Amino acid sequence: MGQVWLHLLLAVLFLLAFGAVGLALATDFRGVATWHARRSVGMFIQPTEERVSRQALLEKFLGWAFTACATIGLVVTIAVIVSLLA
């Protein structure tokens, strides 16, 4: 039973980190999405502002998707914890 609690704790920590990264991308916290877009576009071709802005928009959308998935995962994990305590 002790291993179950360890797995649940690790799940919660992973989902919190996943959600934090998603939220940072979605809100462009400190320019994270723009920095990553500029860096990823620049790996293949010379980055233009139009390409970087499209890539940053895509990364913001993916950030919201990551945040939504992490939120759903946290709700499910908390439901499992509550059911184990009951």
By C-alpha distance, which of 31, 19, 27, 33 is closest to 66? 19
Residue 9 near residue 61, CB atoms below 8 Å:
no
Q: pTM for the complete prediction?
A: 0.80
The one-letter amino acid at 83: S
Per-residue pLDDT reduced to its tens digit, 5-19: 899 999 999 999 999
Residue 63 near residue 27, CB atoms below 8 Å:
yes
Domain residue limits, the chain: 2-81
Per-residue pLDDT reduced to its tens digit, 41-70: 877 777 788 888 888 899 999 999 999 999
**C-alpha distances out from residue 65 to 4, 5, 29, 58, 78, Å:** 28, 27, 16, 11, 20
By C-alpha distance, which of 37, 31, 29 is closest to 67? 29
